[in-house]
Amino acid sequence: MEENLDRYQLAGLDAKERGFSRPLVFERVGEDYRAVLRYETVLIKTEASQTQDESLRILVQTLQAQGYRQLRTQMSFRNNRYLGSQELWIEYPDPEIEPERTELGHQGVVAKFLNWIRPRNQ
């Protein structure tokens, strides 16, 4: 890891809905960048991207696809300068999840019941 690259703190809920907070670093890959996250026994490295911001976006999308939620980042180093808690947290909206389809379809039990008891116009 090169010291002059940005570093972030990444926090959120993992796929098992446990809170976590881990450092997020970048690596140079030729002229490009790769985001790197170590969490428990998992090491996630993104594909190389032209910017650190793009690598960060890809990492967030990768984690969200694996069930991570409520993700947010805070920059802790920029240009080899420690920022502490000066920077604001950036939150990444969770992707919308399609409601599970039940035997009753998308409406669910309550909606089906209400439709059943409502008077029908003849």
| pLDDT value of position 104 | 53
Please give the residue that has the higher pLDDT: either 59 or 79: 59
pTM of the shown model? 0.76
Which pLDDT score, from 0 to 100, does residue 95 have? 92
Report, as an integer, the average pLDDT of 56-84. Answer: 95
Higher pLDDT, 38 or 4: 38
Q: Is residue 2 part of a domain?
A: no
Domain that holds residue 49: 7-117
C-alpha dihedral (9, 71, 38, 22), degrees to nearest 10: 30
Number of domains in the chain: 1
**Domain assignment of residue 44, yes or no:** yes
Residue 31 included in any domain:
yes
Q: Tell which residue, 40, 36, 38, has the closest CA to residue 16.
A: 40
Query: What does the block give as tokens for 29?
Result: 């890959």
Question: Is residue 122 a part of any domain in this protein?
Answer: no
pLDDT at residue 1, rounded to an integer: 47
